[in-house]
């Protein structure tokens, strides 16, 4: 039986030392220009020291128009390279593999940061968003590809494309609203087109040792469970990905739409060829992680547990009975886990039971 401590071989690039990955957690610790701060670098480095097989950054905007919040990491220009180079070097020294999550906020971006209306597949006045032209969609693909090339130049082991949670790529997948007629909307084939073009572009522009992942939402934000499952099936079978990261909110939850079984079970039974399947959502113990693998996942992505313990992975590997402590934690306790002041403020404003 697969263990969380088992090394993981991917189609491209180096092995991971175990099956545990750090979730791409929003932390608002970057500088105003999107460059890495020491606090953000240290947050990630501590998780490498804490035993994670993969350490992933927070969502990094691939173009200025896609910036969704202040303090967001950027990978939109070569000005972002020096910090990413230092991060890659420091993560490599911990023995962890590294990844940058590539992101565009779309209608969920902050227009006060970009100084222009938000981009969206359709006009959405309530979100100060205007429909992208076909040329702008093509530029979007190029921006994601350029960001991946930039990550590879920085020495990062791979990237994960953010297609979840109702951000721009998820907006293209939205069957309720994306009824474009230029080949990027309407049918699922056309709504998925921009995602596949990005994946194909990254795979073609980066080397054979560069790892590529994709994060998807299983349902919600205009995506039905049937379409979420079909989208996952297609990308698993595409031969483009090293892994698919399914963001389940809670790995133990049932589908929101009333379908039978557990949400995780609608994805772990899919044929996946050489592509690995990851799951994320409220994994708070070694037993939770083992259960995900027993259900058929290859990778377990950890979020809040990694906030509470920088060494969640090492503890879970060493002790099958390990359970993360229960919050809230004091600011001093969080600082001891290499959670910086800006991150603590962000958690205090929106995350229940984390900051005392």
Q: Which residues are catalytic?
A: 167
Strand ranges for the chain from DSSP E: 20-22, 54-61, 73-74, 97-103, 118-120, 129-131, 158-163, 211-216, 243-247, 276-280, 299-302
Contacts of 119 (CB under 8 A, 6+ apart): 65, 66, 104, 106, 107, 109, 129, 130, 132, 136, 140, 168
Based on the number of CB atoms within 10 Å of its own CB, is 295 exposed (0-12), middle (13-18) or buried (19 or more)? middle
Q: DSSP readout, 127-160?
A: GTEEEPPHHHHHHHHHHHHHHHHHHHHHT-SEEE
Based on the number of CB atoms within 10 Å of its own CB, is 115 exposed (0-12), middle (13-18) or buried (19 or more)? exposed
Measure the CA–CA gap between 218 and 279, rounded to whole angstroms.
11
The single residue listed with the structure tokens 């979420």 is: 228
């Amino acid at each position: 039986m697969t263990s969380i401590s088992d090394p993981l071989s991917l189609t491209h690039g180096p092995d991971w030392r175990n099956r545990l990955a750090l979730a791409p957690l929003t932390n608002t610790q970057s500088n105003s220009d999107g460059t890495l701060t020491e606090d953000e670098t240290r947050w990630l480095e501590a998780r490498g020291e804490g035993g994670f097989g993969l350490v992933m950054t927070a969502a990094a905007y691939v173009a200025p128009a896609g910036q969704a919040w202040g303090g967001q990491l950027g990978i939109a220009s070569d000005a972002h390279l020096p910090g990413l180079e230092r991060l890659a070097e420091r993560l490599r020294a911990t023995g962890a593999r590294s990844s940058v999550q590539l992101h565009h906020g779309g209608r969920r971006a902050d227009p006060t940061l970009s100084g222009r209306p938000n981009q969206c597949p359709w006009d959405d006045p309530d979100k100060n968003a205007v429909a992208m032209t076909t040329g702008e969609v093509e530029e979007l693909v190029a921006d994601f590809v350029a960001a991946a090339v930039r990550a590879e130049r920085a020495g990062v082991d791979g990237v994960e494309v953010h297609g979840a949670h109702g951000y721009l790529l998820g907006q293209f997948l939205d069957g309720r609203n994306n009824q474009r007629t230029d080949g990027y909307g309407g049918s699922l084939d056309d709504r998925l087109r921009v995602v596949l073009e990005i994946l194909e572009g990254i795979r073609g522009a980066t080397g054979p040792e560069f790892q590529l992942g994709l994060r998807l939402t299983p349902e919600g934000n205009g995506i039905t469970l049937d379409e979420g499952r079909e989208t996952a099936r297609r990308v698993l079978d595409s031969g483009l990905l090293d892994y698919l990261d399914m963001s389940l909110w809670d790995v133990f939850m049932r589908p929101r739409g009333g379908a039978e079984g557990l949400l995780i079970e609608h994805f772990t039974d899919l044929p996946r060829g050489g592509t690995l399947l990851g799951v994320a959502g409220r994994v708070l113990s070694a037993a939770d992680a083992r259960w995900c693998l027993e259900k058929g996942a290859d990778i377990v992505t950890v979020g809040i547990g990694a906030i509470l313990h920088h060494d969640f992975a090492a503890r879970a590997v060493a002790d099958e009975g390990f359970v993360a402590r229960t919050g809230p934690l004091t600011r001093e306790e969080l600082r001891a886990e290499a959670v910086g002041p800006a991150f603590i403020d962000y958690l205090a404003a929106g995350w229940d039971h984390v900051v005392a």
